[in-house]
């Protein structure tokens, strides 16, 4: 049974962040006045920190994000592609990296989001590096409205990876839930959430 469970895991950042069971998190936005903004991700009891996200207010550079684990170690580096060509493009493009042992950053995914004034403004797609999944391009998609805290991240064939929703009995968009389905990489999901937060001018942006 253990071998079968391992085969069903889909690590993107690391298999350490994959669980064989449904996992629910609570995401809290840090105010810009406190540590420069960002996100804190805890378990449902709000007692154990699973991830932290440092935004540009902390890092001091626009278009850069860092996802850290509960111990504060950096697990995912995210940056927005810059330059004149990107500024004129109809899409915002982001890259996610992990740090290799030799200190080299290896790109593991790219997120492409259509800018609001273009027709496909709701299209947000995330492509995994082909060599990560059987040498084939693998595409996730964000469906729904992140600003309203009502969206899902899907894998090919409509498989649900994660769901974002308002936390029950709260109603504030500063505190919301993220449920990650079995087998999928939780650090990767939080990385996508961090980019969505930035794209919508929320806590990770500055």
- 19 and 8 Cβ atoms separated by less than 8 Å: no
What's the whole-number mean pLDDT along residues 28-32? 84
Q: CA-to-CA distance for 151 and 186, rounded, in angstroms?
A: 16
Would you tell me how many other CB atoms lie within 10 Å of the CB of residue 104? 9
Q: For residue 27, what pLDDT band results from cuts at 50, 70 and 90?
A: very high
* Model confidence pLDDT, tens digit, residues 109-157: 999 987 554 444 456 999 998 766 666 678 999 999 999 999 999 999 8
* pLDDT tens track for 151-180: 999 999 899 999 999 876 566 788 999 999
Q: Where do the domains of the chain lie?
A: 22-199
DSSP β-bridge partners for residue 127: 110, 139
pTM: 0.88
The three-class DSSP label of residue 86 is: helix
pLDDT at residue 37 in the model? 81
Q: Which two tokens stand for residue 79?
A: 């940056």
Residue 205 has pLDDT above 50, yes or no: yes
Cβ neighbours of residue 151 closer than 8 Å, sequence gap 6 or more: 142, 143, 144, 145, 163, 164, 196
pLDDT tens sequence across 93-105: 999 999 776 667 8
The residue ranking higher by pLDDT, 204 or 32, is 204
- Asked whether 115 and 90 are in contact (CB, 8 A), the reply is yes
Are 106 and 97 contacting, i.e. CB atoms less than 8 angstroms apart?
yes
Confidence band of 24 (pLDDT split at 50, 70, 90): very high
Q: What distance in Å separates the CA atoms of residue 183 and residue 5, rounded to the nearest whole number?
A: 8
pLDDT in tens, 36-65: 789 999 998 878 999 999 988 787 778 899
User: How high does pLDDT run on average in the chain?
Assistant: 84
Q: Is 43 exposed, middle or buried (0-12, 13-18, 19+ CB in 10 A)?
A: middle
Domain 22-199, CATH among 1.10.287.110, 1.20.58.390, 3.40.50.970, 2.40.160.200:
2.40.160.200
- pLDDT score for 11: 92
For the chain, how far is it from start to end, CA to CA, in angstroms? 47
CA 204 → CA 9, 48, 132, 133, 181, distances in Å? 29, 21, 28, 29, 25
């Amino acid at each position: 049974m253990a071998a079968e469970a391992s085969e069903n895991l889909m690590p993107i950042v690391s298999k350490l962040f994959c669980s064989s069971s449904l996992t629910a998190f609570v995401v809290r936005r840090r105010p810009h006045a406190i540590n420069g903004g960002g996100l804190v991700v805890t378990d449902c009891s709000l007692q154990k920190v699973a991830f932290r996200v440092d935004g540009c207010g902390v890092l001091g550079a626009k278009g850069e994000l860092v996802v850290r684990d509960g111990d504060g170690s950096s697990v995912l580096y995210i940056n927005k592609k810059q330059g004149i060509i990107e500024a004129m493009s109809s899409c915002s493009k982001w890259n996610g990296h992990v740090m290799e042992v030799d200190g080299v950053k290896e790109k593991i995914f790219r997120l492409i989001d259509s800018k609001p004034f273009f027709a496909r403004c709701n299209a947000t797609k995330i492509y995994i590096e082909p060599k990560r999944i059987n040498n084939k391009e693998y595409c996730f998609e964000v469906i729904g409205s992140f600003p309203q805290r009502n969206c899902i991240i899907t894998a090919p064939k409509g498989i649900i990876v994660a769901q974002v929703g308002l936390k029950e009995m709260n109603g504030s968009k500063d505190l919301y839930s993220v449920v990650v389905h079995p087998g999928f990489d939780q650090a990767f999901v939080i990385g996508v959430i961090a980019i969505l937060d930035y794209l919508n001018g929320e806590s990770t942006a500055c």
